[in-house]
Structure 1
Amino acid sequence: MSTAIKPSHIGRKISRIRELRGMKQETLAAELGISQQSVSSLEQSERVEDEKLEQVAKILGVTKEGIENFSEEAMVNYFNTFNEKVSSSNFGHHNTCTFNPLDKLMESVDENKKLYERLLEAEKEKVAYLERLLEKK
C-alpha cells in the first residue's frame, strides 16, 4: 500500500468553492472575461498560474491561500463542530423565550408615542413663547 501524498488538485478546489458560493461557471467566466469552456478546463487543471488563481480567489471572495488549503474534510469538521456548539446552546432545539415579543413591540410603540407627545408639547411651548415675544414688539 502506497503512503504517497495525493497531489493537491487546485481546479477541483476552485470548482467546489464556486459551487459552495452558489456560482455558475458562466458567472465566473464572465467575471474573468473568459468563456465557460475555459472555466471548465481551468477546473480540470491540477495546477493554475498564481496570477489566474489570485483573480479567481478575488471573484470567489476568498484568498489564494484559502483555495490552496481548501479541504472538504476540514470544512465538514468545521460545520459539525459549529452545529454541536449551536445545539448545546440556547439557539439549538431547546429554545425558550422568557418574554412575549409582541408585548415588547407594544412597549416600544408606547414609548415612542410618549416621546412624540413630549416633543409636540415642547414645540407648542416654543411657539407660545415666540408669539409672546412678537406681541411685546
Structure 2
Amino acid sequence: MNIGQKIARLREIRGIKQADLARRLGITQQALSKMENCEVVDDERLERVASALEVSPDVIRNFREDVIINNVYDQNNTVINYQFNPIEKIVALYDQLLATERKRIELLETLLKIEQEKKH
C-alpha cells in the first residue's frame, strides 16, 4: 500500500469525504485525488494531511490495513497509539471461549458421575 492509498484509507476510516478533506487542505478535490494515487508524498504535505485527518504523520506512514489503531489519551491529553491485529484478538477470544467450554463440560461430566453414583 503506497502513501497515497494510506491517506485515502485513513480518510475513509475517519468518515471524511474527499471533498471535505480537500477543503480542509485548501486544495481541489482533483488535487487530493491525485495525491491519493501518489506513491510518495513530501513531508510538508504529509504533515498538513495528517493534521487535517487528526493523526500523526507516523500513523499515515505506518498504516496497515490489517492493524487497528486505538487512540488513547494520557493525563496530558497526549495521544498514545495502540496497534493490534484484529485477527489475533479474535483468535485469543476464541481460545478463551474454548477453555471456558472445556471447563463447563468437565463440570457437567463430574456432576453426571455424582448423580450416577447416587443411583447405585
Give the TM-score category using the shorter length: 0.5 to 0.7
Residues matched between the structures, number: 82
Which of these residues, 3, 14, 20, is aligned with residue 10 of structure 1?
3
Output the TM-score relative to the length of structure 2.
Answer: 0.59
Which letter maps to 1:78? N
1:72 aligns to what SS in structure 2? coil
- Which is richer in helix? 1
Aligned mate of 1:31, from 24, 37, 42: 24
The secondary structure found in structure 2 opposite 1:54 is helix
Match of 1:78 in 2: 85
1:24 & 1:70 partners in 2: Cα distance? 19
With the length of structure 1 as denominator, give the TM-score of the two structures.
Answer: 0.52
Give the share of equivalent positions with the same residue, in percent. 41
Q: Displacement of 1:59 after TM fit? A: 1.0
Higher strand share: 2
Gaps of 5+ in 1: 1-7, 90-137
Please state how far the C-alpha of 1:15 moved relative to its aligned partner. 0.3
1:45 to 2:38 alignment = yes
Question: Unaligned 5+ residue runs, structure 2?
Answer: 70-83, 98-120
Question: How many angstroms apart in 1 are the aligned matches of 2:92 and 2:11?
Answer: 27
1:126 is matched with which residue? none
Match of 1:54 among 40, 44, 47: 47
